[in-house]
Amino acid sequence: MTIGILQNRLTDLLLKGTCAVLILLHLAACQQTPTAQSILPEHTLLKAGDVVFRQGNGLTSRAVRAADSDGRFSHIGIVADSAGALRIIHAVPDEPDFPGDLDRVKMETPERFFNAIHASCGKVMRPQNGDAARAAAAKAYEVFARGTLFDHDYDDRDTTAMYCCELIDFCFRAAAYPLIGNERHEYHLPGLDFDHLILPSDFLHSARLVNVADF
């Protein structure tokens, strides 16, 4: 076999290898889900203990807003410090991070929490007591770290599992700075009977929270 033939074969192999790599890269790109942008304004300054609200787009979100007389928001979370990085901790169903993921208390970036896929509008409120805010945020991190599941019974009298409003109420009560009173709501539909609900609007009207941002 001459040197020229060897060179031609090597060239063919290189070209085929390059084409294969390009095809794989193209397929990988096609399989990636497009990422919607965050609705959180770029220069919004969050602090640990901030209470964050969003209006969701799904059926569960619509049900929450239907149950809430001031149904502007369907979901709520708390900002926490995770090794120097601000994250949002919240209890949410139907948002798995991987196949087989359970409904649970999650921690994610503010940008992901306010991703346009999950949020059409949002709000940030801040506790007037900074020490209590940080203590509540630390408690929320504890709840997340222990792997707390989502409370599909929506019953704040049992804190082994939690839903979003229950989590916020629990953390601020643990910090000796409750944001809301002991009043609860009833909501009844065929197949749905809840008699001890906390709703996002309960926190909207808290005298201990001040508005930071609406978007």
Q: Please check whether residue 166 is in contact with residue 148, taking contact to mean a CB–CB distance below 8 angstroms.
A: no
What is the SS3 assignment for 20-73?
HHHHHHHHHHHHCCCCCCECCCCCCCCCCCCEEEEECCCHHHHHHHHHCCCCCC
Whether residue 39 contacts residue 119, with contact meaning beta carbons closer than 8 Å, is answered with yes
pLDDT-based confidence at 167, cuts 50/70/90?
A: very high
Whether the predicted pLDDT of 114 surpasses 90: yes
Question: Amino acid letter at 61?
Answer: S
Per cent of the chain over pLDDT 70 is 77
Distance CA 75, CA 63 (A): 11
Q: What whole-number percentage of the chain has pLDDT above 90?
A: 70
Long-range contacts: 113-117, Cβ < 8 Å, 24+?
113/40, 113/52, 113/54, 113/77, 113/88, 114/38, 114/39, 114/40, 114/52, 114/54, 115/35, 115/36, 115/37, 115/38, 115/39, 116/36, 116/37, 116/38, 116/39, 117/36, 117/57
Superfamily of domain covering 51-214: endopeptidase domain like (from Nostoc punctiforme) (3.90.1720.10)
Residue 86 near residue 22 (C-beta atoms within 8 A) = no
Q: Which residues contact 3 (CB under 8 A, 6 or more apart)?
A: none
Q: Output the six-digit token pair for 191.
A: 């197949």
Q: Where are the domains of the chain?
A: 51-214
Q: Read off the pLDDT of residues 16-75 as tens digits, 9 standing for 90 and up.
A: 444 443 333 333 333 334 457 999 999 999 999 999 999 987 666 666 666 666 778 999
Q: What is the mean pLDDT of residues 3-17?
A: 47
